[in-house]
C-alpha cells in the first residue's frame, strides 16, 4: 500500500519534473521561460477541449492514446520507487516491461499510419528503426544485471538494500551502465540529441510528428504517457545514483526526489548544450549505449 501511495505521488508530480527541463532550457537561453507547472496547465486545457478527428482515421487512432498511457502506467507498477518494493513483482517482469513499452510503441506507430499523413509515416518509420536498436541495448543492460545478481525482476535490484549490493558487485562498471541507461532514456523518450521535441519542422521530428493529429483529451493522454515513461527511466537512474536507505522514510523519499530533479536538470542541460544529431548519426549514438553495456558486462564477468 505504501509503495502504491508513493507511486501515485510521484506519478502526479511527474508533469512538474517535465517543467523543470523547460526551466533549465530557458535558463540556458537567457529567458524567463514558462512556469514550472506549465504541463499541468496544458493538461487541464487539453482535458477541457473536445477533439478533431481526421476522416481517414479508424478506432485505432482513438485507442492508441489510451494504450500509450496504459502501457507506461502498468510499467510503473513493477518499478520500486525510493527503495520501496514495487507494487507488483515477479521473476521476469523486466521483460514484460520492455514488451509493454513495445505495445505502446506499436499503437503509436499504427495510429500515426492511420492518419495517412506522409509526415507521420516518416516519424513512425524512424521510431520503429531506433527502437529496434535501443531494445537491444536495454536487453544488454538486463544481461549485465542478471550476471550481477541472477534475477530478472526490478524489485531485486532497486528495492531496499539490493541497490547497495549491486554497487558492491558491479563497482565501477555500474557507471558504464548508468551512462548506457541515460542514453537509452534519451532514445526511448525521444529527447535531444535523438529528437528535438521543440523543433518547428515536421520533417525532422520523430515522436512529435506522430502525434500531430491527436487533439484534446487524447493528446493529454499521450502527454501524460510520455511524462510517465520518462519518470520510469529517471526513477531507475535515480535509485542507482542514490542507493542508500536512510532510517527516516520521509528523508529517503526526499533524497530520491532531489536526485530525480537532478537527473531532469541534467536532461535539460543536455538539451541546452547539444543540437539534434543528423538522422544517420543516431544509430551510432544508440549503439554507443549498447557498447557501454556490453563492455561493462564483460569487464565484470569473473
Partner 1 sequence: MNLFIDSALLILLGGCIPFFCAFHVRLTKIIAILLMGCGCILGFIQSVRVLIHSQSSLETILCLNTFIFQFQFDTLSAFFTTAIYAISLLSLIYSFHYIHEQKKGLQIAIHYVFASLLIVSMLVVVTAADMITFMIAWELMSISSFLLILLDDHSPEALKAGYWYIIFTQAGTLCIFALFGCMYGFTGTLAFTNISGLHVEYKFVLFSLACVGFGTKAGIFPFHVWLPYAHPAAPSHISALMSGVMIKTGIYGILRIYSLLATHSLIFGYILLVAGIFSSLFGVLYALGQHDLKRLLAYHSVENIGIILMGLGLGVIGASTQNMRLAVLGFSGGLLHVWNHAIFKSLLFMNAGMVLHKTGIRSIEQLGGLMKSMRITGITFLIGALSISGLPPFNGFISELLIYLGGFQAIDKQVNAFILPILGILTLSIIGGLALSCFTKVVGIVFLGEPRTQINRNIHGEIGWTMLFSVVVLALLCFGIGIMPTPFIQLTFSPIKCMHVFGDDQILASLIDLGQTMTLVFCIVGCMFLFLLGIRYYLYAGKTIAHTSTWGCGFTKPTPKMQYTGASFASSILQFFHPIAPIHSPQQSVSGIFPTHSHLHQELIDLAEKWILLGFVHPILRVLDKQRWIQHGNIHFYVGYILVTIVVLLFFI
State which of positions 107-126 bind partner 1 (CB under 8 A): 109-110, 112-122, 124-126
d(CA 112, CA 121): 6
H or E element that contains 278: none
Please report, for residues 29, 60, 77, the alpha-carbon distance to residue 102 in angstroms, rounded to integers and kept in the order given. 35, 16, 16
The cell for 58 is: 479508424
- Which one of residues 5, 44, 52, 273 is an interface residue with partner 1 (CB under 8 A)? 52
Q: Is 37 helix (H, G, I), strand (E, B) or coil?
A: coil
- Is the Cα torsion angle 276, 281, 283, 284 positive or negative in sign? negative
- Which one of residues 79, 81, 133, 226 is an interface residue with partner 1 (CB under 8 A)? 133
Q: Which stretch binds partner 1 (CB under 8 A): 33-41, 95-103, 229-237, 268-276?
A: 95-103
Interface with partner 1 in residues 255-284 (CB under 8 A)? 279, 283
- Which one of residues 13, 77, 178, 265 is an interface residue with partner 1 (CB under 8 A)? 77
Helix 93-114, helix 118-149: angle, nearest 10: 180
The cell for 76 is: 510503473
Pick the closer one to partner 1 by CB: 35 or 102.
102
Pick the closer one to partner 1 by CB: 74 or 245.
74
Nearest to 289 by CA among 279, 301, 297: 297
Pick the closer one to partner 1 by CB: 12 or 254.
12
Angle at 179 between CA 100 and CA 287, to 5 degrees: 70
Pick the closer one to partner 1 by CB: 35 or 116.
116
Q: Which stretch binds partner 1 (CB under 8 A): 12-20, 94-102, 161-169, 244-252?
A: 94-102
- Which one of residues 4, 146, 285, 295 is an interface residue with partner 1 (CB under 8 A)? 146
* Whether the Cβ atoms of residue 270 and residue 195 lie closer than 8 Å to each other: no
- Which one of residues 7, 100, 237, 240 is an interface residue with partner 1 (CB under 8 A)? 100
Pick the closer one to partner 1 by CB: 179 or 212.
212
- In the complex, what is the shortest distance from the CB of residue 167 to partner 1, in angstroms, rounded to a whole number? 19
d(CA 228, CA 230): 5
Q: What character string, x for contact with partner 1 (CB under 8 A) and - otherwise, covers 165-204?
A: -------------------------------------x--
Instruction: By CB under 8 A, tell whether 132 contacts partner 1.
Output: yes
Please report, for residues 87, 216, 246, the alpha-carbon distance to residue 73 in angstroms, rounded to integers and kept in the order given. 12, 20, 27
Amino acid at each position: 500500500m505504501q509503495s502504491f501511495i508513493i507511486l501515485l505521488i510521484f506519478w502526479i508530480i511527474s508533469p512538474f519534473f517535465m517543467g523543470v527541463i523547460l526551466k533549465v532550457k530557458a535558463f540556458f537561453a537567457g529567458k524567463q521561460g514558462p512556469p514550472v507547472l506549465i504541463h499541468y496547465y496544458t493538461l487541464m486545457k487539453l482535458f477541457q477541449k473536445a477533439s478533431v478527428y481526421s476522416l481517414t482515421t479508424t478506432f485505432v487512432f482513438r485507442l492508441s492514446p489510451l494504450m500509450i498511457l496504459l502501457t507506461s502506467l502498468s510499467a510503473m507498477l513493477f518499478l520500486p520507487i525510493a527503495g520501496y518494493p514495487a507494487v507488483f513483482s515477479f521473476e521476469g517482469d523486466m521483460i514484460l516491461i520492455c514488451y509493454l513499452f513495445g505495445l505502446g510503441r506499436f499503437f503509436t506507430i499504427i495510429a500515426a499510419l492511420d492518419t495517412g499523413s506522409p509526415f507521420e509515416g516518416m516519424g513512425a518509420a524512424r521510431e520503429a528503426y531506433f527502437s529496434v536498436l535501443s531494445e537491444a541495448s536495454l536487453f544488454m543492460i538486463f544481461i549485465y544485471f542478471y550476471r550481477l545478481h541472477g534475477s530478472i525482476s526490478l524489485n531485486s535490484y532497486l528495492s531496499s538494500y539490493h541497490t547497495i549490493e549491486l554497487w558492491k558487485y558491479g563497482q565501477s562498471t555500474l557507471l558504464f551502465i548508468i551512462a548506457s541507461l541515460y542514453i537509452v532514456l534519451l532514445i526511448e523518450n525521444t529527447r535531444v540529441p535523438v529528437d528535438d521535441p521543440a523543433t518547428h519542422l515536421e520533417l525532422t521530428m520523430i515522436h512529435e510528428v506522430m502525434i500531430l493529429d491527436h487533439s484534446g483529451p487524447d493528446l493529454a493522454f499521450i502527454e501524460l504517457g510520455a511524462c510517465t515513461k520518462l519518470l520510469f527511466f529517471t526513477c531507475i537512474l535515480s535509485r542507482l545514483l542514490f542507493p542508500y536507505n536512510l532510517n527516516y522514510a520521509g528523508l529517503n523519499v526526499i533524497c530520491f526526489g532531489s536526485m530525480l530533479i537532478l537527473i531532469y536538470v541534467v536532461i535539460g542541460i543536455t538539451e541546452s548544450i547539444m543540437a539534434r544529431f543528423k538522422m544517420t548519426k543516431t544509430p551510432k549514438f544508440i549503439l554507443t549505449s549498447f557498447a557501454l553495456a556490453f563492455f561493462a558486462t564483460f569487464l565484470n564477468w569473473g
